[in-house]
Amino acid sequence: MLLALSSSYVYHNTSWAKNIWDEMSLCDKSMYNEVSGATADEIHDLIVRNKHWHENNITNFSEAFPPEFIENFINNISAEYMNWKIQHEVTYYNSSLCVFEDFIDIPLMSDGELRLECIARKPAIPEKKWVSGYVFKICMNDNCVGELNVRIGYTDSLYYGGQIGYGIDEQYRGHHYSERACRLLVPLLKAHGMEKVLITNNHTNKASQKTCERLGARLIRVAPVPQWHDLYEEGNRLENIFEWKIN
């Protein structure tokens, strides 16, 4: 009962809790994943009934809810909501259109100065849930200035790792080569039917964030990296998730 009352308190005394319940109750039922013992309809019904309960049960602050308790409760609910949103985003992107029958040759990937040279084609490894991909050298005139990786497909892992990854050698940074290289990928991505891709970067990587912004990519969220992901083992704890629409 204490949990229910504290939930009611947060609903009526914070600026964001009501929005969470409203958004969940209005979500298309087809977006709910079925869980053990409950169908999507039953999950939706539970959410709607809980929303109505919160609307009709007002709990004001009292000694039963010391500041520490409320802070912990809000943090826990916020984390659960974040996980709920991320799972729905993963499901959404995993359903995105992608066509892969074989690797494709794009004859000229150049803007007149910068060019991409394919150095590897990596077949999918289904048992590891790895999709097919390309590796390109980023070349400026006669110099190799960096590398670009492209993954053709959408998976849970790629929500955090992205379809595009790039790196510019230190001595060549500061010239927007990553942005220009990404733009050269558009014909290839379109050939594979991809209308949007995710580009992710460490929350502290300001240079990569600027690249995404110059591309016109939209920041979806800053997502905590799950412990099962390779990025977590590399020390990354927060990733910026950008969506880049292919025009």
Evaluate whether residue 106 is within a structural domain. Answer: no
Last residue in a domain, options 65, 94, 123: 94
167: pLDDT strictly greater than 70 = yes
* CA 144, chain centre distance (Å): 30
Range of the domain at 77: 2-94
Residues 68 and 153 in one domain: no
Q: Structure tokens of 172?
A: 């060549």
Q: Are 181 and 142 part of one and the same domain? A: yes
User: Do 85 and 165 sit in the same domain of this protein?
Assistant: no
15, 77: one domain: yes
Each residue of 164-200: b (16+ CB within 10 Å) or e? bbbebeeeeeeeebbbbbbebbeebbeebebebbbbb
For residue 85, what pLDDT is reported? 86
Domain-embedded: residue 108 = no
Half-sphere exposure in the Cβ direction for 170 (13 Å, CA)? 0
How do residues 35-90 score in pLDDT, each as one tens digit? Answer: 445 566 766 676 677 667 666 766 555 555 566 766 666 667 677 778 888 999 99
Res 94: pLDDT = 94
CA distance from start to end of the chain: 52
Q: Which residue has the higher pLDDT, 225 or 18?
A: 225
Same domain, 238 and 119: yes
Residue 98 has phi, psi (to 5 degrees) of -155, 130
Q: Looking at the structure, do residues 134 and 237 belong to the same domain, yes or no? A: yes
CATH of the domain at 160: 3.40.630.30
pTM: 0.73
Confidence of residue 162 (pLDDT cuts 50, 70, 90): very high
Looking at per-residue pLDDT, the higher value among 245 and 18 belongs to 245
Q: How many domains does the chain have?
A: 2
Is there a single domain that holds both residue 121 and residue 241? Answer: yes
129 and 157 together in one domain: yes
Q: Confirm whether 101 is domain-assigned.
A: no
Of the residues 94, 127, 148, which one is the last residue of a structural domain?
A: 94
Cα 239 to Cα 23: distance, rounded to the nearest angstrom: 24
CA distances (Å), origin 10, targets 76, 101, 143, 172: 12, 51, 58, 51
Radius of gyration for the chain, computed over Cα atoms and rounded to the nearest angstrom? 22
